[in-house]
């Protein structure tokens, strides 16, 4: 039950960040910092979903990664769609699933 609550919280935080009217976070940071934000915003819920065995959520995250950029510009006109953001989202999903698999493997090896 706690795992599902964590997943819901990560998805809400992701949605708030993606669909806020302005770009969240520092605007004067190093170039590409927003890509790190996109990666993390998708990696965390993907890892939690994978740990929960909720493959359908991972599939939904992939669809959301592709759809969110054009949708973002419709819901928040000050935001511009960026293919590199979508690629960072997809990379985040891959990283999250890989981390979850590594954690599961380690748990099995460690006798957890």
**Alpha-carbon dihedral sign for residues 13, 18, 24, 26:** positive
Select from 57, 69, 68 the least CA-distant residue to 100. 57
Name the more confident of 87 and 27.
87
pLDDT tens-digit readout, 8-17? 999 999 999 9
Q: What is the pTM of this model?
A: 0.89
CA distance 6 to 74: 28
Instruction: Give the residue, 41 or 111, on which the prediction is more confident.
Output: 41
Residue 98 has pLDDT above 70, yes or no: yes
- Per-residue pLDDT for 30 more than 90? no
Q: Which of 81, 87, 91, 68 is nearest to 18 (CA)?
A: 68
SS3 assignment, position 81: coil
- Give the dihedral of Cα atoms 87, 89, 95, 97; nearest 10 deg: -120
Task: Evaluate if residue 25 carries a pLDDT over 90.
Answer: no
Taking alpha carbons only, the member of 105, 111, 92, 109 closest to residue 51 is 105
């Amino acid at each position: 039950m706690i795992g599902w609550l964590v997943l819901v919280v990560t998805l809400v935080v992701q949605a708030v960040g993606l669909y806020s009217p302005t770009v969240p976070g520092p605007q004067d940071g190093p170039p590409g910092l927003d890509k790190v934000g996109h990666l993390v915003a998708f990696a965390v819920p993907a890892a939690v979903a994978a740990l929960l065995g909720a493959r359908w959520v991972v599939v939904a995250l992939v669809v959301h990664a592709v759809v969110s950029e054009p949708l973002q510009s419709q819901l928040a006109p000050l935001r511009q769609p960026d293919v590199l953001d979508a690629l960072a989202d997809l990379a985040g999903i891959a990283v999250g699933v890989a981390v979850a698999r590594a954690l599961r493997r380690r748990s099995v090896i460690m006798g957890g």
